[in-house]
């Protein structure tokens, strides 16, 4: 069986013959020299959407850049001539050290992370940080402040009850999580150890456009669903944490950026795997990390840099969101987005149909057009289009065209 191929794809001549891979395209990295690397990586060529792939609007795990997937495919079997896959490498070997070091270096460049911050590549998802944050930043009797703008910040506040005394100083629940509070309305508690926010609520589609100032000097943000989607002044935060599976990689990697003076204060009951000091001292290699996931994250970071950095990425994301929100707002009520316009997410766009009985048909017909995962979260219903960094403009334009055609048929 023969297949059409590109320089990046795997070749399968028949079902019985061995497969072979194209030549690897490694990147040069100064801190660690890998002798088995035989080529220099050149900038990835621009790609058009492959005809055999769907437009995946899932909230996470989510779509990844096609050039990153092709790059990972080309290096899967034999990473840069080393004779083994990244999945087979010792996490303490020089090959993987070069991978994790460059991933951190590129992430620091993307976000301009100051040297007084540590970068940790962990596991457990952002949900694990709901416990790790209070365990590392305060004592059981300390008060902490939480702003609850959606499901995820609500879960974070509830988890913190086990390890400290959280106060919910603002909640949008009564208005179905469609707003962000005015910062002047936040009554922070004197002596609070930190202020916690969720920068972008994946389910409800609300996003902080600016960030409050924590009276404690320690602002903590869950940035899982808008991480690396725009420039962020890291120096305004004590801790930033994010699951990778939305914007920067596959599921299984959790990234923590923490100011170094906050490390080393963990409660005595803190499990070793939740102790930031342990991971910082061991350069994220205390135990076996999610090696392949970190490798893919590194490829994504490199791709974002090649695009011109997060300023350029933000411009693309704003354009995509503007097109989609304009289609919703211009539909004369056939489609509706409940979120206050000033805080609408650039990443997650929830919307409903005026005729809710058509939602099932909308999802079914969209899938026929190779647009999938548009069903809203089970807790809120409706639709949701997640348009992360890797979602192309073509994907959003195709969705908008479909929405207009669907409205014409059913209005």
- Residues forming the active site: 152, 222, 246
E strand or H helix at 146, and its extent?
Answer: strand 143-148
Cα atoms in the Cβ-side hemisphere of radius 13 Å centred on 256: 31
- For residue 371, give the 3-state DSSP assignment: strand
Are the C-beta atoms of 32 and 97 separated by less than 8 Å? yes
Task: Classify burial at 175, counting beta carbons within 10 Å of its beta carbon; exposed 0-12, middle 13-18, buried 19 or more.
Answer: exposed
Tokens of 232: 């962020």
Q: How far is CA 352 from CA 338, 376, 381, in A?
A: 8, 9, 8
Q: Distance between CA atoms of 103 and 397, rounded to whole angstroms? A: 32
Q: Distance between CA atoms of 171 and 153, rounded to whole angstroms? A: 9
Q: Distance between CA atoms of 321 and 326, rounded to whole angstroms? A: 8
Task: Classify burial at 291, counting beta carbons within 10 Å of its beta carbon; exposed 0-12, middle 13-18, buried 19 or more.
Answer: buried
DSSP string, 59-90: SSS----HHHHHHHHHHSSSGGGSSS-GGGS-
Are the C-beta atoms of 90 and 287 separated by less than 8 Å? no
Neighbours of 82 (CB within 10 A): 21
């Amino acid at each position: 069986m023969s297949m059409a191929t590109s320089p990046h794809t795997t070749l399968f001549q028949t079902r019985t013959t061995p497969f072979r891979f194209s030549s690897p395209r490694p990147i040069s990295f100064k801190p660690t020299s890998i002798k088995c690397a035989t080529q220099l990586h050149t900038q990835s060529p621009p790609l058009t959407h492959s005809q055999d792939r769907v437009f995946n609007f899932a909230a996470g795990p989510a779509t990844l850049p096609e050039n990153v997937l092709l790059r990972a495919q080309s290096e899967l079997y034999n990473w840069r001539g080393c004779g083994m896959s990244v999945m087979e490498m010792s996490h303490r070997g020089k090959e993987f050290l070069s991978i994790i070091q460059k991933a951190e270096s590129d992430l620091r460049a993307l976000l301009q992370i100051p040297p007084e911050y540590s970068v940790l590549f962990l596991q457990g998802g952002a949900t694990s940080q709901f416990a790790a944050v209070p365990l590392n930043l305060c004592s059981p009797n300390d008060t902490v402040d939480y702003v609850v703008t959606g499901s995820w910040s609500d879960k974070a506040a509830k988890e913190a009850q086990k390890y400290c005394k959280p106060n919910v100083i603002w909640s949008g629940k009564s208005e179905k999580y469609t707003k962000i509070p005015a910062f002047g309305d936040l009554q922070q508690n004197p002596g609070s150890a930190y202020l916690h926010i969720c920068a972008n609520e994946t389910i409800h589609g609300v996003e902080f456009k600016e960030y409050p100032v924590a009276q404690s000097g320690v602002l903590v943000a869950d940035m899982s669903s808008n991480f690396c989607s725009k420039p962020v002044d890291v120096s305004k935060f004590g801790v930033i944490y994010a699951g990778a599976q939305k914007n920067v990689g596959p599921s299984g990697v959790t990234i923590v950026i923490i100011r170094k003076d906050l490390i080393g204060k963990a409660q005595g009951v803190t499990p070793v795997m939740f102790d930031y000091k342990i991971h910082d001292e061991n350069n994220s290699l205390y135990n076996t990390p999610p090696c392949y996931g970190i490798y893919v994250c590194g490829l994504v970071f490199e791709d974002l840099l090649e695009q011109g950095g997060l300023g350029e990425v933000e411009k693309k994301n704003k354009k995509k969101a503007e097109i989609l929100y304009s289609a919703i707002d211009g539909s004369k009520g056939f489609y509706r987005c409940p979120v206050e316009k000033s805080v609408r997410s650039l990443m997650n766009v929830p919307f409903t149909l005026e005729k809710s009985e058509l939602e099932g048909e909308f999802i079914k017909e969209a899938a026929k057009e190779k647009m999938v995962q548009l069903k809203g979260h089970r807790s809120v219903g409706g639709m949701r289009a997640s348009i992360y960094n890797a979602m192309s403009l073509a994907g959003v334009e195709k969705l908008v065209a479909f929405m207009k055609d669907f409205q014409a048929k059913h209005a």
